[in-house]
Structure 1
Amino acid sequence: MTRKTVLITGASSGMGYAAAKLFAKRGWRVYAGARRVEKIPGGANIYALYLDVTDETSIRNFAQFAISHAPRIDVLINNAGYGEFGPLEEVGVQRVRKQLNTNLVGASELTKLVLPTMRKQGAGRIVNISSIGGDMYSPMGGWYYVTKHALNVWSDTLDSEVRQFGIRSVIVEPGGTASSWSEIAMNNAQANLRENSPYAKLTEAMVTLFNQMNSSTHATSADLARVFYQAATDTIPRHRYFYSLGDRLLGHFSRAHQATFHSLLNVVTNQLLK
């Protein structure tokens, strides 16, 4: 029996790292990509490869190696991403472009390269790692939320186009996770503040709030890796995958009651500024 093959981006830490280990443990051939190749897990079944999802040549080299090396491409997991937090007025355009290229454009470009192979096979699965931030938003995270909302729409549109070929495109929406994501996002929020910024107080309040939320989360990278695996292997895939019922309900409430969510968010923001 031919081993199944998965490509995973952002595999040097967090959920991507845990997913690479899980798929390899279950006998999959894993092509794991990240800029910090030395941080990618080693072991049987894992091919650690350099990948910068903001660089076209790097994306092409990663995809071509996997396609030429493996007998088939069963799953692509677009996991690479980060949070470019900060006031919309003050986040510089270069940082905006990096956020868009990392969280959205890179996923699109890599997907384009594997789709012809999946189409020839008559099967394949694109698993896009979004966030509950793809259904909601908060101050200081505007560009991050833009990329996750866009990734959701992009994935759903892609799914409507490629189902005819036996390929599916699905979304995983993690909520709070015990990882370095929040620390990096909050560091970015502070780094993006200009000197004497009028948003300093709000930023500090949001950093405190996110840190408190992060300290109370119970989902680990290993927990999310199992959700990745389910999204990759379900015979009849769903459009959305969540780790917890709370994440699912929060996403549903945000989508179904946007005006109410916006009003509640304004109340919370006003309280933070007091």
Structure 2
Amino acid sequence: MTAMDRKVAVVTGASAGIGQATARRLHELGFIVYAVARRLDRMTSLAALGIHTAGVDLTDDAAVVELVDRVLAESGRIDVLVNNAGYGSFGAVEDVPMDEARRQFEVNVFAVARLCQLALPHLRARGSGRIINVSSVGAKMYQPLGGWYHSTKYALEGLSDCLRVELKPMGIDVILIQPGGIDTEFPQVASQRLLATSGSGAYSDYARRYALTLLAEPRYISSPSVVAKAIAHAATAKRPRTRYAVGRGARAAIVARWLLPDRLFDRAVVALFSALAR
């Protein structure tokens, strides 16, 4: 495959976990990969493989515009955009400052939308391409003290569904990835934010117990490579599915939410919460 024939993929949140595993997987499949993250120093292993790396704060519009301009100047095309960057800001809705709630939406939703806006003229011009948005099983269910995080994932799925029907006539696929529990930095970061936000005060007991569920035993989580494999399939399949639920517990949680009425699902969430916190 010549350089002109190789497809180009942009992967955000590539400094660790799912993003880094995805960048490696797509590189192995012959893609020209641009790995994007705030922490450029965390991507030296990717650069050593020949993967292009870019240190970008996705909430900085000028930096995002510069990123897309760079990809097009160097490679002349964008074929696959993997919007993986995101984080979890946990805490009681009452406790989380509104500035932090807004930042959660800026990173998890608006940054995705802005990258899509910038990439779409080039995808439309080619009449093909894939936008792969990494959501969560948390977009189909909910859990205590995760109101703002879950809200962003619900919003991301709504945005993606609308994009899918908008762009299908133009030859562009929009695919959602819905991971369950994955072995990344997410649980540690989320539990730290939870305790910092609601570890004292009216929700303190609840917060301390729930922080333990975020750090559940390894048997409840899967490797980031499982998600990377699904993303790679979505990027290369002739007819990709609209959604891929991956990782332990993902499909079961989605089916349970579909089958159970709200009150019964509430009880199931509380029961699981109590079991994991022991």
TM-score by length of 1: 0.93
Q: 1:261 aligns with which of 260, 265, 270?
A: 265
The equivalent of 1:5 in structure 2 is: 8
Could you tell me how far apart the structure 2 residues matched to 1:86 and 1:258 are? 25
Point out where structure 2 has 5 or more consecutive residues left out of the alignment.
none
Could you tell me how far apart the structure 2 residues matched to 1:271 and 1:29 are? 45
The equivalent of 2:109 in structure 1 is: 104
Confirm or deny: 8 A CA contact 1:86 1:193 kept in the other structure.
yes
Q: Secondary structure at the match of 1:133?
A: helix
The equivalent of 2:118 in structure 1 is: 113
The equivalent of 1:206 in structure 2 is: 210
Change (3 A) 1:82 1:245: closer
Which deviates further from its counterpart, 196-205 or 62-71? 62-71
Give 1:43 deviation, angstroms: 3.0
The equivalent of 1:130 in structure 2 is: 135
User: What are the equivalent positions in structure 2 for 1:105-254 lying under 5 Å apart?
Assistant: 105-193=110-198, 196-213=200-217, 215-244=218-247, 246-254=249-257
> 1:156-181, CA deviations, whole angstroms, 9 ceiling, x for partnerless residues?
11001000100011100111111111
Which deviates further from its counterpart, 35-44 or 78-87? 35-44
Deviation beyond 3 Å, 4+ runs, structure 1: 266-274
Could you tell me how far apart the structure 2 residues matched to 1:272 and 1:175 are? 15
Point out where structure 1 has 5 or more consecutive residues left out of the alignment.
none
Q: 2:34 aligns with which of 31, 34, 38?
A: 31
Could you tell me how far apart the structure 2 residues matched to 1:171 and 1:261 are? 23
- Identity percentage of aligned residues: 32
Could you tell me how far apart the structure 2 residues matched to 1:273 and 1:72 are? 48
Change (3 A) 1:209 1:220: same
> 1:5-44, CA deviations, whole angstroms, 9 ceiling, x for partnerless residues?
1000011111101111111122110011111112122134
2:67 aligned with 1:62, yes or no? yes
Give 1:245 deviation, angstroms: 7.1
Confirm or deny: 8 A CA contact 2:220 2:248 kept in the other structure.
no
Could you tell me how far apart the structure 1 residues matched to 2:72 and 2:261 are? 42
TM-score by length of 2: 0.92
Give 1:185 deviation, angstroms: 0.4
Q: Secondary structure at the match of 2:214?
A: helix
Confirm or deny: 8 A CA contact 2:13 2:19 kept in the other structure.
yes
> 1:94-121, CA deviations, whole angstroms, 9 ceiling, x for partnerless residues?
1111110111100000010000000010
Could you tell me how far apart the structure 2 residues matched to 1:265 and 1:162 are? 36
